[in-house]
Structure formats: structure tokens, C-alpha cells
Amino acid sequence: MRIGIPRETRENETRVAATPETVKKYVAAGHEVLVEQSAGLAAHFSDQAYEQAGAKIVEAQQAFAAALILKVRAPSATELLNIARGSTLVGMLDPFDEAGLDAMAQAGVTAFALEAAPRTTRAQSLDVLSSQANLAGYKAVLLGAHYYGRMFPMMMTAAGTIKAARVVILGTGVAGLQAIATAKRLGAVVEASDVRPAAKEQVESLGAKFIDVPFETDEEREIAKGVGGYARPMPASWMERQAALVSERCKQADIVISTALIPGRPAPILISAETVRAMKPGSVIVDLAVERGGNCPLSQKGLVVYENGVALVGLTNLPGMLATDASALYARNVLDFLKLIIDKDANLAIARDDDIVSACLVCEGGKNLRKK
Ligand code: NAD
């Protein structure tokens, strides 16, 4: 089959959906791979490296004309015009973006949104949310350290002692846990909060302190368990108690990394404007949830802003700041997913009864399959 790898054109997107490593495997499996010129440049994969792996370097239109197109991000309106009806598209296609899915359905594309894969053991090797969130959690701490005008580790020097930084992590999914590990490695004192009771043990196993918000009703306890591993919106009573505790911890903190998300919903507000104004000047909030509205109402998408001496880092696409590793992991996720929709003769064979395939299939036959 002919596989196309276009260059990503969304602002701030540096990743690429296939690397020379995965291209080599596609070619070995009998595919013809067409890589758009400079597609991997921002991730430091040269056209020559793709050619050596067996790909042909082409113009955008040829890459989009392939039967199977591998992308990082959902196609723009202009990109969609280049995709032929009946072709298959695999990428992080925003399964909660109804208008985006409608557009892909109208373009007659068979589309697989990899973010929709179930969080099961079998799906781990193709879990793009995990591979990218892991990098985002690491980079969030480095950004926090960059905007913080002081040290992370405690240091005893001849010129005096420097205290260790206090880091608070809100939301301890994949990104939050990696942020804890990274902040610990840099020598910070770390505490963390999450709604899911299972998070406590994970936080403590990384050597951080869990900010415990006790449950007061059976309803709170039940909702906190979440669905399919994901959090659900908590009742207002619990959110109020959490806000009070988090506010106290933030006032003591030097760096706050917030990662709390609920699938398909705006991010929960965990750090109020009032809390920010009560924080120490020079402290830093890195709001990883900013693309979904933010865990702090003062953070701004794509910007670093200051409130009362507190830096609010709302930069987006943190995995894209680590483009080489992010692309390498993403490309392997894609390679593993393709094993489920391509047969041994290198032809498309969509196993609709496979739970991973059926969860990721979002458009087919002109229909947006996620539409209720
Ligand atoms: P996510 O990005 O959806 O959310 C980040 C974190 O925010 C979650 O831990 C969530 O509980 C938390 N959160 C939501 N509301 C909050 C609030 N009010 N206060 C504090 N925290 C709040 O999470 P994710 O990283 O995608 O992980 C989601 C789940 O999937 C986790 O249970 C994780 O262990 C699980 N997971 C499973 C697999 C697998 O089995 N293959 C892989 C990855 C993740």
C-alpha cells in the first residue's frame, strides 16, 4: 500500500508521524512510503535519512494522495482538500471536536483518532496520550525551573544554604506522575493532588506527599473512582474542600504544575485568581491544561503572563518542544496501531470487532461515527 507522511502545518507543530526507523519497517513490510519534503526537519530527521530508510521524498499533494495518510494532528481545511475520498487517515484527530470530525466525514475519509484508544494493557504500545503526556510532564517541570528565579535542589555552600524548591502537582495521570518524578530528580520537595483514590499510592511510591481531600459522602467516593480510569467531574462540595486545601498548598509552593483533565470537558478550575494573588512573588504556575481552558483562570493559551509577581506559563504543545523523542514515540505508536488495520499482504483490513480499532474509528462512509 502507498503510505503518505505529510509535513505538519499547524502552528507550533514540530512533530512528524513517521521516523526513518518506522519508515524502514513499512518498506520492509512491502509498502511504498511517500514522505513530504522537510516533513521531519523540525524533529531533526533529514530527507536523506528518510530516503536511506527506503522512502521517496515528494511534494505535499503526492503525500496526501496516498491510500493511507499518517498525521500527527487533524488535517486543516486546506489539507483536507488534498485528501482523496476513500483514503484512510490515522492521527491524533481530536475525537471530541465534532466540527472537525464532520469535516473529515464529509471529505469521505476513513479516519482513526488514536486518542480514542482504550487505556487497556493491550493498547499500551499504541497509547499516544501516554507517550506524549509523559514527555509533557517532564518538560513542564523544566519550564517551571526555567521561569523560577531560584534553585530546585537544596544546596549547602560556603556562601550559605539554599532551600529546596517546593513543588505542587495537581492531577497525577501520566503527565502528573512524570512531573513528580522529574521534580524529585531535580531535588524538589513534592506534594500532589488527584481525585482518584488509586492515585495516592502512585504518588507516594514516587516519594511525594499526597494532598488528601477526604470524602464526606458515598456519592463523592463513588464519583471519585471515575470511569475507565478517567476522572469525572466531582460534586461542588468536594471541589470546595479541595480548593481550600490546594490554595493553602499553593501559597507555600514555589512551582505549581497543573495537569488535571476530564475527558471531553473543560478542565476543572483548581487554582483561583485569589489563590494566585496570595502566592509568593517569583513562584511559577505551569498550566498544562491550558488548551482545555486551564486549571487556573488567569493562565493564557500560548503565553507566559505575570500576576502579582507569579509567572503563569500557558505554553502549548510541550511534547513538540521535544520533537525528536516525541516523534519517535508517536511514530512507534502509529506503527503498532497499523498492525491492527493492515494484513500480512500489506493491504488494508480493518478489524471492526477489535475493541481498539472500533474505539479509534471515528469517520467512515461519509459518516461521523461519534455523532449521537
Ligand atoms: P488525564 O490527562 O485525563 O487527567 C489528568 C489527571 O487529572 C487524572 O489523573 C485525573 O484523575 C486528574 N483530575 C481530574 N480532575 C481533577 C481534580 N478536580 N483534582 C485533581 N485531579 C484531577 O489523565 P491520563 O494521564 O490520561 O490518565 C487517565 C487514567 O488512565 C489514569 O487512571 C491512568 O492511570 C490511566 N492510564 C491507563 C493506561 C493503561 O492501562 N494502558 C495508560 C495510561 C493511563
State ipTM.
0.96
| Candidate list 10, 119, 196, 241, residue with the active-site label | 119
Q: Which of 170, 164, 141, 131 is nearest to 261 (CA)?
A: 170
Q: Is 355 a catalytic residue?
A: no
- pLDDT under 50: residue ranges of the chain: none
271 lines ligand 1 (CB under 6 A): no
CA distance to 151, 161, 162, 307, per residue, from 158 (Å): 16, 8, 11, 35
pLDDT score recorded for residue 229: 77
Predicted pLDDT at 18:
98
Distance 351 CA to ligand 1 centre (A): 28
Q: What is the pLDDT of residue 372?
A: 78
pTM: predicted TM-score of the whole model, two decimal places? 0.96
Question: Dihedrals φ, ψ of 142, to 5°?
Answer: -65, -40
C-alpha cell at 146: 526555567
Q: Whose CA is nearest to atom 36 of ligand 1?
A: 119
Decide: 303 and 314 in contact? Cβ < 8 Å. yes
Q: What's the confidence (pLDDT) of residue 301?
A: 97
**pLDDT for the residue numbered 225:** 87
| Residue 230 CB less than 6 A away from ligand 1 | yes
The residue annotated as part of the active site, out of 62, 87, 130, 299, is 130
Taking only the tens place, the pLDDT of each residue in 17-26 is 999 999 999 9
Has 119 been annotated as catalytic? yes
